Amino acid sequence: MAGIEVTALHKRYPDGTVAVEQVDLSIGHGELFVMLGPSGCGKTTTLRAIAGLERQTTGDIRIGDTLVNDLPPAERDIAMVFQFYALYPHLKTRDNLAFPLRAEGLPKSEVLKRVDEAARLMRLGPLMDRRPRQLSGGEQQRVALARALVRRPRAFLMDEPLTNLDAELRADMRTEIKHLQGELGATMVYVTHDQVEAMSLGHRIAILNKGRVEQIGTPLEVYDRPASLFCAAFIGSPPMNLIEVEVADGALRAQGGLALTPPPGLSRDCHLVAGVRPEALEVTAPGAERSVPARVVSAEWLGDEIIYVVDHGGQHDVRVRMPPTVRFAADAQVGLRHTGGTPVVYDVSTEELVA
Amino acid sequence: MAVSVDEAVSTGPARDRTPPVRRRSGRGRSVLEVALLTVLAVVMLFPVLWMIETSIKENRDVYAVPAEFIGFTVTMEHFKDVFVGPDGGRSALSVAFLNSVLVAGASTVLATLLGVPAAWAYSRFAVKAKKDQLFFILSTRFMPPVVVVIPIFLMYRQVGLIDSKLGLILIYAAYNLPFTIWMMKGFVDEVPAEYEDAAMLDGYTRLQAFRRYTLPLLVPGIAATAVFALIFSWNEFVFAIFLTSSDSVRTAPPAIAGLIGGTTTDWGLVAAASVVFALPVLVFAYLVRKHLIAGVTLGAVRR
Ligand SMILES: Nc1ncnc2c1ncn2[C@@H]1O[C@H](COP(=O)(O)OP(=O)(O)OP(=O)(O)O)[C@@H](O)[C@H]1O
Ligand SMILES: [Mg+2]
């Protein structure tokens, strides 16, 4: 296992598309590193550059201590799992697993041993003599994972490996991957556009947007203090409420009267937006203490919670996460109260976190 | 080869393979349909039938007026004449058939050997002005052979390829190549590039990845493409008649055509030679009909 160092990666495709503007990543030995971002932000391209399937236009990639810029994929000693599993359709599971090993020219007994080991780890016993067509999506993905395992590569790259699975199976596989990664102490770069996946899997998450890294941090950091307006609007479901505020009388004041505790060190003269998580707000009875008058626009019952869309006289309606026991009808006059601590504040002109 | 392309590259869950059923209401309509189709079939097949009949009639029955459809004496003389010359040795026609086999076979192999890797390259790599290049390649097929046969004749005379089997092989291969590239590109596009990516990560070179993973999946497509190329080369007449003259080089189509004319025409021999000429392609096409359909429905199979 080895860490991966990506420096000033830039990739422009021959047709002129710039898929990766500038990406710097420092992925630790044994880390499960998640790249998260919307479709088309350059996740796959970055991953393929690390794998050597795509040559970067400029920038350096190091795996362990080796500069791998000019190494073909075969010599980078990396395994990749694809969104579409890329199992060879004409080979049985057993041979699909053995193939990478045969490529290395390992002796037969060693091949057998490693295949058995990977099969045991991914519980493939009964599937060993089937072809990919005879396997379900989840089974195919397990085979694909096992195929990546047998080689004992220096790092694993995974490109949305669970996207084709249904929700339940996806949750199972997520647990499985996390467990496996921990067990093997493997360096793993995991690409996804699913934030739940990113949050639950990643030791650290890199949020990419338009070929740039917007933020790198632990799931908690990324959730608590999104580094930019983009991250704030991307992470969380529903995402943060972005409320335009002004600094006045020692508070952040929004249109409609909502007042928030200002973080220290705010400069007065910029145009600010406060990021408030839906769970940091509360819908109350009208006129409740510290509440501002508001109106319920709509409510979304999700079973274990209710998401209220509330008009508080500000420029945008806000979303509020409430337990299912607190019920208000649509159009009801209510109060809106901020219950969380100091909100994060962004400068509208730079779109970045100011405090 | 019992796999169809469809099966071989199928990756997702099994697709619904049944073609949409066209429902026609009313019996009258279907009767009309059957009647029309029957008429059409008779019209289309009559020349074939007549050819077969003529090939087994004695020459005086061939000229009988009114024509005899049944009740003539069956003879195999003409078929013997196709293969055995008047001197008891090998006939000129049989040499022509051998030439046809050689020329069609070799040109198809050549076109396939060149076309499949080219198609793979066009499918997988970022090539400058790819669309324009592909269009150019296709455009070489816009003209019928007869348009270019004179310049080619002149060029061949210069380089000494005139009246040689090699000359025919080359021109047929050149003529089949655009078709092979286009058709094969469709098949390669159907095979996900991830197979090769995965193989390369597993330690294979790009070419090995192509050979070991993509190529096996392309076999049905290659078969379909090769059959089309083979049929074209086998049937080709214009180049053959312009570019070859001696009996030892000529392929079957001009050789058969050469039987017609002169003072008398041995129609029985012409018909028998035509039957012998048509048979291999028919049998072959029947054997690989599945692949042919795969070729015709190219592009209809979506990943
Ligand atoms: N081979 C290519 N040639 C030209 N442009 C490409 C190529 N591959 C990708 N792109 C473009 O590069 C950009 C980034 O693509 P990439 O596949 O890296 O996105 P992604 O983040 O993986 O998205 P997704 O979540 O949809 O998989 C996109 O705008 C895409 O259209
Ligand atoms: Mg992608």
Please indicate, yes or no, if residue B86 is contained in any of the structural domains: no
CA distances to A267, A269, A278 from A263, rounded to whole Å, are: 10, 15, 19
Question: Phi first, then psi: what are they for B267, rounded to 5°?
Answer: -60, -30
Q: Any CB–CB contact under 8 A between A15 and chain B?
A: yes
Please indicate, yes or no, if residue B114 is contained in any of the structural domains: yes
Fold of A4-228: Rossmann fold (3.40.50)
In the predicted model, is pLDDT for residue A27 greater than 90? yes
Q: Cβ(A43) to ligand 1 under 6 A? A: yes
Across chain B, what does the average pLDDT equal? 85
Sorted by where each begins, the domain ranges of chain A are 4-228, 238-353
Specify the pLDDT at position B25: 54
How do residues A312-324 score in pLDDT, each as one tens digit? 988 899 999 999 9
Q: Any CB–CB contact under 8 A between B202 and chain A?
A: yes
Report helix, strand or coil for B145: helix
- Least CB–CB distance from B202: residue in A53, A89, A103: A103
Q: Cβ(A48) to ligand 1 under 6 A? A: no
Q: Are the C-beta atoms of residues A326 and A288 closer than 8 Å to each other?
A: no
Arithmetic mean of pLDDT, A27-33: 94
Report how many domains make up chain B. Answer: 1
In the predicted model, is pLDDT for residue B9 greater than 80? no
Q: Any CB–CB contact under 8 A between A156 and chain B?
A: no
Q: Are the C-beta atoms of residues A339 and A283 closer than 8 Å to each other?
A: no
In the predicted model, is pLDDT for residue A10 greater than 80? yes
Fold of A238-353: OB fold (Dihydrolipoamide Acetyltransferase, E2P) (2.40.50)
pLDDT band per the 50, 70, 90 thresholds, residue B294: low
Query: Among candidates B234, B237, B239, B139, which has minimal Cα distance to B179?
Result: B139
Q: Cβ(A13) to ligand 1 under 6 A? A: yes
How do residues A108-157 score in pLDDT, each as one tens digit? 898 999 899 888 888 888 889 999 888 888 888 889 888 888 888 999 99
Question: Phi first, then psi: what are they for B135, rounded to 5°?
Answer: -65, -40
How do residues B51-109 score in pLDDT, each as one tens digit? 999 999 888 888 888 887 787 888 888 899 889 988 888 888 999 999 999 999 999 99
Report helix, strand or coil for A267: coil
In the predicted model, is pLDDT for residue B5 greater than 60? no
Across chain A, what does the average pLDDT equal? 90
B303 CB-contact burial (10 Å; exposed 0-12 / middle 13-18 / buried 19+): exposed
In the predicted model, is pLDDT for residue B2 greater than 60? no
Q: Cβ(A15) to ligand 1 under 6 A? A: yes
Please indicate, yes or no, if residue B41 is contained in any of the structural domains: no
What residues have their beta carbon closer than 5 A to ion ligand 2? A 44
Q: Any CB–CB contact under 8 A between A254 and chain B?
A: no
CA distances to A176, A304, A326, B214, B249 from A323, rounded to whole Å, are: 31, 7, 6, 54, 90
Specify the pLDDT at position B203: 84
CA contacts within 13 A on the Cβ side of B17? 8
In the predicted model, is pLDDT for residue B24 greater than 60? no
- Residues B131-163 as b/e (b if ≥16 CB within 10 A, e otherwise) read eeebeebeeeeeeebeebbeebbeebeeeebbb
The percent helix, strand, coil of chain B (3-state, each to 5) is 70, 0, 30
Distance of CA B24 to the CA centre of its chain: 35
Arithmetic mean of pLDDT, B3-8: 40
**H-helix segments, A87-194:** 93-104, 108-121, 137-150, 167-184
Please indicate, yes or no, if residue B245 is contained in any of the structural domains: yes
Query: Among candidates A150, A4, A19, A24, which has minimal Cα distance to A76?
Result: A4
Among B residues 120-179, those touching chain A with beta carbons less than 8 Å apart: 126, 128
Which amino acid is residue B147, in one-letter code?
A: V
Q: Which domain holds residue B213?
A: 2-17+91-293
Specify the pLDDT at position B273: 93
How do residues B172-193 score in pLDDT, each as one tens digit? 999 999 999 999 999 999 888 8
Q: Cβ(A210) to ligand 1 under 6 A? A: no
How do residues A96-107 score in pLDDT, each as one tens digit? 899 888 877 888
Q: Are the C-beta atoms of residues B229 and B112 closer than 8 Å to each other?
A: yes
CA distance linking residue A98 with residue A83, whole number of Å: 21
Identify the CATH number of the domain in which residue B111 sits: 1.10.3720.10
Q: Any CB–CB contact under 8 A between A301 and chain B?
A: no
Q: Are the C-beta atoms of residues B187 and B221 closer than 8 Å to each other?
A: yes
Question: With contacts defined as CB-CB under 8 Å, which chain B residues touch A151?
Answer: 202
Predicted-complex ipTM score? 0.78
Specify the pLDDT at position A184: 87
- Ligand 1, atom 30: nearest CA belongs to which residue? A40
Helix pair B194-201, A43-51: axis angle to 10 deg:
40
Query: Among candidates A248, A202, A251, A241, which has minimal Cα distance to A336?
Result: A241
Q: In this predicted structure, which of B75-84, B248-257, B282-291 has the lowest mean pLDDT?
A: B282-291
Distance A194 CA to ligand 1 centre (A): 17
Query: Among candidates A307, A313, A297, which has minimal Cα distance to A243?
Result: A313
pLDDT band per the 50, 70, 90 thresholds, residue B28: low
| Chain-chain contact of A74 with B200 (C-beta, under 8 angstroms) | yes
Q: How many CB atoms lie under 10 A from the CB of residue A71?
A: 15
Arithmetic mean of pLDDT, A31-47: 94
CA distance linking residue A207 with residue B129, whole number of Å: 35
CA distance linking residue A33 with residue A202, whole number of Å: 5
Please indicate, yes or no, if residue B54 is contained in any of the structural domains: no
pLDDT band per the 50, 70, 90 thresholds, residue B142: confident
Please indicate, yes or no, if residue B239 is contained in any of the structural domains: yes
Please indicate, yes or no, if residue B113 is contained in any of the structural domains: yes
Structure tokens at A294: 């508001």
**H-helix segments, A159-291:** 167-184, 195-201, 219-224, 229-234
Q: In this predicted structure, which of A220-234, A287-301, B25-39, B161-175 has the lowest mean pLDDT?
A: B25-39
How do residues B104-134 score in pLDDT, each as one tens digit? 999 999 999 999 999 999 999 988 888 999 9
- Least CB–CB distance from B197: residue in A15, A86, A132: A86
Q: In this predicted structure, which of A40-49, A344-353, B43-52, B291-300 has the lowest mean pLDDT?
A: B291-300
**How big is the CA angle at A344 (ends A338 and A349), to the nearest 5 degrees?**
125
Report helix, strand or coil for B135: helix
| Length, in residues, of chain B | 303
How do residues A151-198 score in pLDDT, each as one tens digit? 889 999 999 988 888 888 888 889 989 998 998 898 999 999 999 999
- Ligand 1, atom 31: nearest CA belongs to which residue? A40
Dmax over CA atoms of chain A, in Å, equals: 78
How do residues B11-22 score in pLDDT, each as one tens digit? 444 444 444 445
